């Protein structure tokens, strides 16, 4: 694994703390969050609640995430998807000078944003430039223990708004979509080289695209005549394959195909499947794991992972007494996924599909199914 580490610690680590550089969570009571209502925290100066001053980025479900994580001074937090640093900035303020924030991202632009955060916050900071599965494995190997870890999944606004990266179907740009620009595979490679059957399966599995077969055929037919090298060339190809009535309902006709390509190029679901148990493993007893998802493929994985750890007895229902002896190792912090308020969606339409789930770790014992 190739990672770049940036530690902003100065003399704040000179007090002889353990390797994880954090204090154990005070208390242990679970904070209850039974709905998607806001936490009612004071607004940040210069903007609405959840929008940190000095940044144009609007973190999604910021108040709700802070309520579930409940960061305290001196604790350790792991931001598995740093992006533009919106959530991290809010957490860093609460962790204080003796707290630690570990930020993970594979995008070099995120590392630039992290350097800006490091210049204006008091807590100890560390950046790992890598996929979150690889970074969490590294932290586990180092023996790091955290009080909270969270994922803000999918692509960041920073990536969408950087037109040359090719993430958006709204701008003409090179067909790229790599979150790590140094990796070999790009969206153009997939569109140019994968056969029709593989493309159709990709669009079905990762985009839940009902016209997957027709779109795959159109891609193969067009690339035989001329390369598909830009985002708008791909959009035009997709439009040609979708029946006219379907193009005018349910959002942009290229939305699902672009999602599928981005997921495949960056192995997003594979990363998530590996990262969830690793993040759970580095949590202390009483720690909280949270995930913000933007489509059903992500949300389903987070839901099943947390649900499996919150499940107790797995004996057949007809047994009179429990024979398995299994106890829950997690407590879910909300009965259902938490969604943005109407006010938040009005301010930030990109938040509309967000779903937040979280659970508190009850024991360090391992053994629940992945």
- Phi and psi torsions of 148, nearest 5°: -160, 150
**Which residues on adjacent β-strands are paired with residue 299?**
none
CA atoms within 13 Å, Cβ hemisphere of 77 = 32
Report which of 302, 333, 194 is spatially closest to residue 257, judged by C-alpha positions: 194
Query: Quick check: 102 and 139 in contact, CB under 8 A?
Result: yes
What average pLDDT does the segment 96-113 reach? 94
Report which of 80, 41, 46 is spatially closest to residue 61, judged by C-alpha positions: 41
162 vs 71, residue with greater confidence: 71
249 vs 226, residue with greater confidence: 226
What pLDDT shows up at residue 71?
97
How many whole angstroms separate alpha carbon 85 and alpha carbon 126?
A: 13
What pLDDT shows up at residue 1?
46
Convert the pLDDT of each residue in 18-59 to its tens digit: 333 333 333 333 333 333 333 333 333 333 333 333 334 689
Report which of 269, 261, 268 is spatially closest to residue 166, judged by C-alpha positions: 261
**DSSP state, residue 330:** E
Convert the pLDDT of each residue in 185-220 to its tens digit: 999 999 999 999 999 999 999 999 999 999 999 999
| Domains of the chain and any CATH numbers | 4-158+268-361 (3.40.50.150), 168-266 (1.10.150.170)
Query: Quick check: 23 and 15 in contact, CB under 8 A?
Result: no
């Amino acid at each position: 694994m190739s990672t770049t580490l940036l530690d902003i610690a100065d003399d704040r680590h000179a007090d002889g703390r353990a390797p994880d550089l954090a204090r154990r969570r005070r208390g242990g009571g679970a904070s209850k969050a039974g709905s998607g209502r806001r936490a009612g925290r004071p607004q940040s100066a210069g903007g609405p609640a959840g929008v940190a001053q000095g940044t144009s980025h609007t973190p999604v479900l910021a108040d709700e995430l802070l309520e579930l994580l409940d960061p305290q001074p001196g604790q350790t937090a792991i931001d598995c998807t740093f992006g533009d640093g919106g959530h991290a900035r809010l957490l860093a303020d609460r962790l204080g000078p003796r707290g630690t924030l570990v930020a993970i991202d594979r995008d070099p632009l995120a590392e630039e944003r992290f350097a800006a955060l490091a210049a204006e916050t008091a807590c100890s900071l560390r950046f790992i430039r890598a996929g979150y599965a690889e970074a969490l494995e590294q932290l586990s190997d180092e023996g790091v223990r955290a009080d909270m870890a969270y994922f803000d999944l999918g692509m960041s606004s920073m990536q969408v708004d950087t037109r040359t990266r090719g993430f958006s179907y709204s701008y003409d740009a090179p067909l790229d979509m790599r979150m790590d620009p140094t990796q070999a595979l790009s969206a153009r490679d997939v569109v140019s080289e994968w056969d029709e059957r593989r493309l159709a399966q990709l669009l079905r599995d990762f985009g839940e695209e009902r016209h997957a077969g027709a779109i795959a055929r159109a891609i193969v037919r067009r690339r035989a005549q001329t390369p598909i090298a830009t985002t708008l060339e791909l959009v035009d190809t997709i439009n040609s394959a979708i029946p006219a009535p379907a193009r005018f309902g349910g959002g942009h006709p290229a939305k699902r195909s672009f999602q599928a390509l981005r997921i495949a190029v960056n192995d997003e679901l594979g990363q998530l499947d590996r990262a969830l148990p690793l993040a759970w493993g580095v949590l202390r007893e009483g720690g909280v794991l949270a995930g913000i998802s933007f489509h059903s493929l992500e949300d389903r994985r987070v839901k099943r992972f947390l649900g499996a750890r919150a499940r107790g007895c797995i004996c057949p229902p007809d047994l009179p007494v429990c024979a398995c002896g299994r106890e829950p190792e997690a407590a879910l912090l909300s009965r259902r996924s938490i969604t943005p308020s109407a006010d938040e969606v009005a301010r930030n339409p990109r938040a509309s599909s967000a779903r937040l789930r979280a659970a508190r770790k009850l024991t360090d014992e391992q053994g629940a199914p992945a």
